[in-house]
Each structure stands twice: as C-alpha cells, then as structure tokens.
Amino acid sequence: MPVTETDRFPRALALLKEYFGYKSFRPAQEPVVRSLLAGRDTVAIMPTGAGKSICFQIPALMLSGITLVISPLISLMKDQVDALVDAGVAATFINSTLTSAEWSARMNDIADGRYPLVYVAPERLETGAFQGITSRVPIAMVAVDEAHCLSQWGHDFRPSYQNIAPFIASLPRRPIVSAFTATATPEVRDDIIRLLGLHEPAVHVTGFDRPNLYFEVRRGEDKKKFTTNYVKKHADEAGIIYAATRKEVDRIYELLTKKGIAAGRYHAGLSDAERAKAQDDFLYDNLQVIVATNAFGMGIDKSNVRYVLHYNMPKNLESYYQEAGRAGRDGEPGDCILLYAPQDVRTQRFLIDVSTDDEERKRIETQKLQRMIDYCHTPECLRSFILHYFGGATESAECGNCGNCKAGATDVDVTIDAQKVFSCVYRMRERYGITLVAQVLKGSADQRVKKLHLDELSTYGLYPKKTLDDIKLMIQRFIATDYLALEGTEYPVLRLRPAAYDVLRGRTTVIQHILPEKEAAPETADTGLFQHLRALRKSIAQEESIPPYMIFSDKTLRSMCDVLPRDEEEFLEVSGVGQRKLEKYGKAFLQCIAEHR
Ligand code: ADP
Ligand code: ZN
C-alpha cells in the first residue's frame, strides 16, 4: 500500500518540534503541508508573518531528493539559510555572491545529497544549470517564494522569474512545484498558476487579516512633529519609517538626529557599505528606528518590528500592505500609521509618469494609486478596506482595531475656526504659504508681516494664545479635507477650494473626526525579566554575528517570562524552542531566568 499524507503527517509534526520548537502547525499552514506531503502542486497565499517558509521547509526535509527554493533577493536568501543552519537544518544557497571555486564545491556537495534545502536565485536557473546534479540526486520539489514576482500585475515584477518554468520543463523528472506569496490579487493568482504551468494545483488562500496590527491614517498632521513625538514615545521599540523619496528620507533622518534620536537611514543613493551598515544596525537592535525608501525591507525578516510609519502615502495598496506588514511578524501588537498629505498624490503621479513609457502599465498603476488614495480617505473600517481590495472579505465590518472604528475619536464642530482661517486666507488674497498665514492668525511681530502690512488685516491676531504649530496643524487639516489647497511647487501658496466659500457664507458647518494620541501598547509580561532576556539575546547575537531575532523571537522571550522554565525539559516547553536551540542557548537563558527568580 502506498504511503499517504496521513501516514506522513505525524513525522512532519515531530520535525516541526525538533527543528523549530513548535508543537503544531498553524491552521493556515497545515493544509499546505498536507497537500505537499500528498505530492500535489500547491499555491499558498498567506499574509506576511503567517509562517510561509515552514510550509515548504518541513516537507523538504521529508522528500527523497532536494528542494530548490527560488528566492528573489540575495539578502533574504542568506538570512533564511543562516536561520535554518542555526536551527540545525542542512541548507545552503547558490547565488552570484559565490566565487567560481565556491560554486563548484557547493554544487558538488549538493550533488552528494548533503543539503535537502538549496536556495537559488532565479538568475542562476538557466536550463541545464543543475544537469550535473540531477543524475546523482533528484530534484524533488521546486518551491517558488515571492511568486507574485512572476506577474506583470504584481507590484514587484521580475523578468528573471520567467526562467523558472523552462527550467522545470528541462528536468528529467518533474518535481512537485509549489508557489508562495503574501500579496496576490486574483489576477496575480491566475498568472502564477499559468506562468509556472502548475498541474491541477491545490490553492490555499489564508485570510489576509493581521489582527495584531493596528491601522490608522492621519490626514492633515504636522508630519515632522508627529513623527518625532511618536518615535520618542516608542524609544524602546523597533520601528521603520518609510518615505517616498531619498530626499525625504534624508530630511527625516536629519530631523530625528537633530532631536537626539539615534536613527539609521537606507536608500538607493547611499553606498553599499552605508546601506549594509544601516540594515545590520537595525537587524541587530543597535538602532531602534530606520528611515527608508521602499528599497528597504524585502530581505528583512526581523520579527520584532513594533511599528511602521509611512511618512508618505505609497503608490498602491500592495506596497502599503507589504511594507506595513513588516510590523508584528511575531504576532505581538504592531502599529501601522500612514501620514497622508495631498502632496503625496502629486509625488506618486510624478513617479508613475517617469517610471515607464508603457501606457498600459501607466494606466494600471494610476488605477491602483486611486485605490490607495481612497484608502486614505475612507471613513469605513481600514482593515475591511484592505481585505476587500485583496478579494478576501466580502461584507464590511468594524474591526475595533483601526483608526476609523476605534472608539475614542470624537466629532468636533470646527466651523468657527474654519471661518477665521478661510477669511484670513481670503484677505491675504491667496498669495502666501502656510507659515505666513499662521503668523498673521497668531499676531506675530515678524518683520515680514509688518513689511507687507499684514498686521493691518482684521484677521491679524485672532489666535494669540495658540502656538504657531497648532495653527499650522489646523490649516493642514483643512487642506487634507479639501477646503484649502496648496498650489505651486517651489513656494506653495494657500488657496480656497469651492467648499471653503460655502463655509465663509455660513451655509455649512465643518465637522472633523479628530483622534487622540494612541497610548503605547501595554506590556503583557514581566518587563524586568523580558529586558534581561533581551539583553542576553543581544550579547549572544553579537558573539555569533547573527541578528537577535534569529536566536529567539520576542514572542518566544515573552513566553519564557510566562512559563518561567526551571530545567531543560521545561525550557523545551516554551514555544519557539527546539532541540538545537535548547542545546545552544538553554543554559544561558535558564540561568538568566533563575537569577531573576
Ligand atoms: P512569512 O515568511 O510568512 O512572513 P515567517 O516564515 O517569517 O513568515 O514566520 C513568521 C513567524 O512565525 C516566525 O517567527 C516563525 O518562526 C513563526 N512561526 C512559523 N510557524 C509557526 C508555528 N507553527 N507555530 C508558532 N510560530 C510559528
Ligand atoms: Zn476597523
């Protein structure tokens, strides 16, 4: 009788505990593992943090033959292989960083069947690349990671992914083919199946929801002030600040540095060495916050990122959800806050315009941008909006954990303020920028105000007690809600939009939904011990030159605080502790816990 997947599954569970320290597969992982154990082509669409990799890593350890994992980024590949090796799994990679001597040696080891898991860059997949190997050891599975890179509809199309199908076709025996991605609209899903030539694949779509992430859009916010305050308030937590352009990244980086906050920065205009250093400092918890363009993050598996701030609106929801999704991969709470300003729309339009000459692509990108803009303005649940976009949820619901459905935000009647501000803009004949308008409203004694005789206006000094920043914030909010517009790029001036005239004439009232500052997430476990364990993890990481989260995730450290293990056996009970980790780190962590007790 042939061995079925039901017979094999207990072995998969045993391996899961042995290597990764987990007692069970998550509900989303199990069907994927089962369909691979049954030998079926499989597509798994799972949100970031759901634990995709384990779905192919465990079956790979059970198949007779090697599993090739196609992975788009060299840094990602190295991280994954390092983490596997640290867990005691024989894995290796093939990419362009190897010298030709290393390459031949490694190919030879692979052919000897020493590695059940081999990560390979798609560029390395010319047909025949593994010919010398397949006569000695069969390729049992090809696992395509980040499979959305296959599709033009994806947000990260990579031509080299077109090598995969011909490569598979050139193999003497067809392997199981599996494809994994976090981000896939139905168009992308169909492309993956078609372009990889999958045979009657099992398709598993996990809900895209990331319940531990808090989503919020802030419009009309003083971005600099908000960002500095936010980062200061979360000084002990790791966070990423994404901005749309290199220049903007530099500006935010300088702002934070000037305020005495140790930050890193990452964008394509920096040297390779600077970039690598910033990334390492962040991964190794030397720097808590990094300011970056979207060039940063594909290779970042860091699981303890507690917040992702978007200083600018990204170009589409795929990018947004992927970037924001880098928060809270360990399942602990994470904040995803987007600071929207109308200027962001202009920046993204411009970027689309210069990105390609292909009119069809431009049309697609513009369509996607519009949905992103809609996200920034919807009064509905933000989570439902996202899930809807990815074809997941059908009915709209209130999630209770996003800026729009969170209790506490209040509707405030700001009609009087609106009338004061708009009439000031009107009296200044729509010729000046935000700062000067704010100065006039405050009643500033600034030279320029005097010279232009703006102190003679009836709106001069309407808000003597408010700070200039508060007045500016008020103006920003009116811009965000489309009563005012900022026009011109070099010296933008404030103009009245049609809605503002209705307010001036007393025809409508202005209500704003204003949110209070969010409190920091409450600590779930004894923070004293948690901080000690963190420090221990960091010093081990430094010795071993691997990022701290690769040793144990924040979640595992928290679970140590809960379980408070006394001996090796109890230590093994902690979720995230496998045999190998017990041997390597058990002693040190047990001692730390004992001292705490
Ligand atoms: P993805 O690649 O889907 O973004 P990862 O593979 O990085 O996700 O996994 C996210 C986190 O979840 C990691 O810290 C991983 O160790 C953890 N994880 C994966 N599978 C399980 C499981 N069955 N039980 C508990 N934690 C898990
Ligand atoms: Zn909600």
| Residues forming CATH 1.10.10.10 domain(s) in the chain | 410-506
Within the chain, all domains assigned CATH 3.40.50.300 are found at 5-205, 213-406
The backbone torsions φ and ψ at residue 321, rounded to the nearest 5 degrees and listed phi first, read -65, -35
Q: Is the shortest distance between the CB of 114 and ligand 1 below 6 Å?
A: no
Instruction: For residue 196, name the pLDDT band (cuts at 50, 70, 90).
Output: very high
Distance of alpha carbon 101 from alpha carbon 81, whole angstroms: 20
Q: Does ligand 1 have an atom closer than 6 angstroms to the CB of 326?
A: no
Secondary structure of residue 305 in the 3-state scheme: strand
What does the alpha-carbon distance between residue 486 and residue 596 come to, in Å, rounded to a whole number? 57
Distance 199 CA to ligand 1 centre (A): 28
The 8-class DSSP code of residue 370 comes to H
Q: Render pLDDT for 501-538 as a digit per residue (tens, 0 to 9).
A: 999 999 999 887 655 433 333 334 456 888 899 999 99
Contacts of 545 (CB under 8 A, 6+ apart): none
Q: Which whole-number Å values give the CA distances from 157 to 154, 272, 437, in the listed order?
A: 6, 23, 46
Indicate the burial class of 292 (C-beta count within 10 angstroms; 0-12, 13-18, 19 or more).
buried
The residue whose CA is least distant from atom 6 of ligand 1 is 51
The 3-state DSSP class for residue 294 equals coil
CATH superfamily of 528-596: HRDC domain (1.10.150.80)
Between CA 325 and CA 356 the distance in angstroms is 27
Nearest residue (CA) to ligand 1, atom 20: 51
183 lines ligand 1 (CB under 6 A): no
pLDDT score of 400: 83
CATH of domain 213-406: 3.40.50.300
Which of 23, 33, 53, when mutated, tests ligand 1's pocket best, judged by the most ligand atoms within 8 Å of its CB? Answer: 53
The chain-wide mean pLDDT, for the chain, equals 87
Q: What is the reported pLDDT for 407?
A: 53
Confidence label for 409 from pLDDT (cuts 50, 70 and 90): low
When pLDDT is cut at 50, 70 and 90, the band that residue 342 belongs to is confident
Distance CA 475, CA 165 (A): 55
Cα(87)–Cα(90) distance, integer angstroms: 9
Ligand 1 mutation target, pool 18, 26, 322, most atoms within 8 A of CB: 26
pTM for this structure? 0.60
What are the start and end residues of each CATH 1.10.150.80 domain in the chain?
Answer: 528-596
Cα→Cα distances 417→174, 300, 491, 505, 590, Å: 70, 45, 25, 14, 60
5-205: CATH architecture: 3-Layer(aba) Sandwich (3.40)
Coil, helix or strand for 110? helix
* Burial of 330 per CB tally in 10 Å (0-12, 13-18, 19+): buried
State in words which class domain 410-506 has.
mainly alpha
From residue 137, how far is each of 125, 131, 155 by CA, in Å?
17, 10, 36
